[in-house]
């Protein structure tokens, strides 16, 4: 028995294949890592944030080594859930040059109070609305939290994730 497509079915099949390929292309583009522009990197390394203890954290101090930048807030349950995982990653890998910075998109008083009860080893900056704008520049088009960006030692974009981190995410960064 020979199977023959009618002209109409052939056209519909062609349209379906084209739509599928277009969908794959959009998905790949959405999840592809594009290099950060020199302007964004220049602005990133020029930024300074007050820390909960009143000191100033200069992001330029983290340039030249692999860096994890995690945007979070005290009112964000997935942010809070991933903090111990990030802290363990920092403690295990800081001797290999890895750095972690938390940027709190929250009210400074809430962050200070939260950190007295849930301390982390890595530095935290009080980023507020400036942090929200930075997150957008680094690829957080949706403005959601948590949002994490990983840069390699040459400031190249290694990873970007909107949502709660997993142990697999952390392991993949080390590759």
For residue range 89-146, list pLDDT tens digits in order.
999 999 999 999 999 999 999 999 999 999 999 999 999 999 999 999 999 999 999 9
pLDDT of residue 168: 97
φ, ψ at 150 (rounded to 5°): -120, 125
pLDDT of residue 5: 55
On whether both 78 and 94 belong to a single domain, the answer is yes
Number of domains, the chain:
2
On whether both 68 and 126 belong to a single domain, the answer is yes
On whether both 24 and 81 belong to a single domain, the answer is no
Give pTM, 2 decimals.
0.81
Q: Which residues pair with 124 in a beta bridge?
A: 102
Strands laid side by side in the 48-50 sheet = 56-58, 48-50, 124-126, 99-104, 67-72, 147-151, 157-162
pLDDT of residue 34: 80
Instruction: Look up the domain containing 24 and give its range.
Output: 1-32
Question: Is residue 135 within 8 Å of 105, Cβ to Cβ?
Answer: yes
pLDDT of residue 17: 41
Portion of the chain with pLDDT greater than 70, in percent: 81
Please, which contacts does 138-142 make with residues 24 or more away whose CB atoms are closer than 8 Å?
138/36, 138/40, 138/44, 138/69, 140/71
First and final C-alpha spacing in the chain: 53
On whether both 1 and 83 belong to a single domain, the answer is no
On whether both 1 and 77 belong to a single domain, the answer is no
φ, ψ at 65 (rounded to 5°): -135, 160
* E strand residue ranges, 2-109: 48-50, 56-58, 67-72, 99-104
On whether both 23 and 43 belong to a single domain, the answer is no
**Is 52 strand, coil or helix?**
coil
What does the alpha-carbon distance between residue 103 and residue 148 come to, in Å, rounded to a whole number? 10
- The residue that leads in pLDDT, 30 or 66, is 66
4-34: b (≥16 Cβ within 10 Å) or e: eeeeeeeeeeeeeeeeeeeeeeeeeeeeeee
């Amino acid at each position: 028995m020979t199977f023959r497509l009618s002209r109409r079915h052939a056209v519909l099949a062609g349209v379906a294949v084209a739509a599928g390929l277009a969908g794959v292309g959009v998905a790949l583009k959405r999840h592809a890592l594009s290099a950060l522009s020199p302007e964004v990197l220049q602005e990133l390394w020029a930024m300074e944030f007050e820390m909960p203890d009143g000191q100033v954290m200069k992001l330029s101090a983290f340039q030249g080594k692999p860096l994890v930048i995690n945007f979070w807030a005290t009112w964000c349950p997935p942010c809070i859930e991933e903090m111990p995982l990030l802290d363990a990653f920092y403690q295990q890998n800081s001797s290999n040059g890895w750095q972690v910075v938390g940027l709190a998109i929250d009210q400074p008083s809430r962050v200070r109070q939260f950190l007295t009860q849930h301390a982390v080893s890595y530095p935290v900056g009080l980023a507020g609305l400036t942090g929200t704008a930075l997150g957008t520049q680094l690829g957080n088009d949706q403005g959601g939290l948590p949002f994490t960006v990983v840069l390699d030692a040459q400031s190249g974009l290694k990873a970007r994730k909107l949502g709660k981190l997993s142990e697999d995410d952390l392991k993949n960064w080390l590759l």
